[in-house]
Structure 1
Amino acid sequence: MTKIIGLTGGIGSGKTTIANFFAEAGVPVYIADNEAKKIMQSKPVISEIKAVFGDFLFENEVLNRAKLAEIVFNNSEKLNQLNSIIHPAVKKDFEKWLQKNKNYEYIIYEAAILFESGRYKDCDIIITVTAPEEIRIERVINRDKTSREQVLSRMKMQWKDEERILKSNFVITNDNLKKAKEEVVKILKILNIKQNHS
């Protein structure tokens, strides 16, 4: 049975960087947010989003993600509605992907809202990635070309690090890449995952 390692962390903690370290070591990685973006372009999901949120979010059948984010990050009820459309579709997609990778002892499921969505219950091991709040805010402002206020309102929608850490098996502090990579190597050793040095 393939074991699922849930990898999570607040916005700007650098989860994807850590996921890439695991991928480099030969552990298959499923990045839920990236897959959700693809799924949001699929016809059945587009129809559901239109039914719940209206056509104005679409230009030539293309979803305006910024407009949608503005709605859901300021309204937890709308966020729940969106999640109830996206999560089942991502879950189905992940199960298909898991089948393809069933020969691996461990795989990584990387998701920002691993706890909030309840998906942590499907994981055998959980790793939380943390970083000091100011570093996280700066990373997101630079990455998403957004404002400090927007980053803080998105942070408010997520669990706090302290809550995540209580439910995690491992914690990686990601404010120094070299140290973070050493943490990943340590976890690989503890779990006895053979590293792929190709």
Structure 2
Amino acid sequence: MKLIIGLTGKIGSGKSTVAQIFRELGAHIIDVDKIGHEVLQNQEVKNSLREIFGEVIFDGVNVDRKKLASIVFSDPKKLSILERITHPKMREKITEELNSLTGLIVIDAAILHRLKLEKLCDFVITVVAPMDKTVERLKQKGMNEDEIYRRLACQEDITDTEYVIVNDSDLSSLREKIKSFYNRVIKSKM
């Protein structure tokens, strides 16, 4: 038995916290950000990125993700180029991981639909949060307002799905919402 949930939401919505709560409830989590970081270690990917973006994005032999992010999140065309290079390799790794798992699986991916992963899911949950909470959370992670709004602008295509979890309070309240959703929706589908 396998139930695959896509978990999406904009940066700062609390999506990864929701994924962690699902992990506590026994789900396998596929962390797409982590897979994206791994793909940036692939020599073929590094060669393509070097060709397009130059040495400026490298810190020695590795891609400097902060330098790359500052370039791609300020130019949608460059973001699109990065995605054309990395997304096929990411989908391949995600599919391999999915094939090796059973039970409840959560694909934690902000850009789930851009990666065309929703097709692999039984259903998708979107985590949303009020803008002030989102900005506050991201500032606590060390981002400045300019960075925050540039990244959010690149995620305009992340929209609500059939299931929406509103993360507008504290962690214990969010945990209760997830447990309730798990008991009400997920158990009935397992």
For normalisation by structure 2, the TM-score amounts to: 0.91
Q: CA deviation at 1:58?
A: 1.1
Is the CA contact 1:116–1:158 (under 8 Å) kept in the aligned structure 2? no
Of 175, 178, 181 in structure 2, the residue corresponding to residue 181 of structure 1 is 175
Q: Deviations over 1:102-161 (max 9, x none)?
A: x31x31001111133333233221101111101101111221x2210110111111126x
- Counterpart for residue 87 of structure 1: 87
Of 125, 136, 142 in structure 1, the residue corresponding to residue 134 of structure 2 is 136
Q: CA deviation at 1:34?
A: 1.4
Q: Distance in 2 between matches of 1:193 and 1:54?
A: 51
Of 152, 155, 165 in structure 1, the residue corresponding to residue 152 of structure 2 is 155
Q: Distance in 1 between matches of 2:148 and 2:63?
A: 21
Q: Find the residue that maps to 2:126 and give its secondary structure.
A: strand
After the TM superposition, which residues 93-172 of structure 1 pair with which residues of structure 2 at under 5 Å, given as runs?
Answer: 93-101=93-101, 103-104=102-103, 106-143=104-141, 145-159=142-156, 164-165=159-160, 168-172=161-165
Is the CA contact 1:115–1:164 (under 8 Å) kept in the aligned structure 2? no
Is the CA contact 1:116–1:159 (under 8 Å) kept in the aligned structure 2? no
Q: Find the residue that maps to 2:187 and give its secondary structure.
A: coil
Q: Distance in 2 between matches of 1:42 and 1:22?
A: 30
TM-aligned CA distance change 1:67 to 1:155, over 3 Å: same
Q: Find the residue that maps to 2:4 and give its secondary structure.
A: strand
Q: Distance in 2 between matches of 1:153 and 1:59?
A: 23
Gap runs ≥5 in structure 2: none
Q: CA deviation at 1:193?
A: 7.0
Q: Find the residue that maps to 2:74 and give its secondary structure.
A: coil
Q: Distance in 2 between matches of 1:29 and 1:6?
A: 10
After the TM superposition, which residues 16-35 of structure 1 pair with which residues of structure 2 at under 5 Å, given as runs?
Answer: 16-35=16-35
- Could you say what the CA RMSD is over the residues aligned between the two structures, in angstroms? 2.0
Q: CA deviation at 1:169?
A: 2.5
Question: What one-letter code is carried by the residue in structure 2 that aligns with 1:191?
Answer: I
Segment drifting more, 22-31 vs 1-10? 1-10
TM-aligned CA distance change 1:84 to 1:32, over 3 Å: same
Q: CA deviation at 1:84?
A: 0.9
Number of matched pairs: 188
For normalisation by structure 1, the TM-score amounts to: 0.88
Question: What one-letter code is carried by the residue in structure 2 that aligns with 1:60?
Answer: G
Q: CA deviation at 1:175?
A: 2.4
Question: What one-letter code is carried by the residue in structure 2 that aligns with 1:157?
Answer: C
Question: What one-letter code is carried by the residue in structure 1 that aligns with 2:24?
Answer: E
Q: CA deviation at 1:35?
A: 1.3
Q: Distance in 1 between matches of 2:42 and 2:188?
A: 35
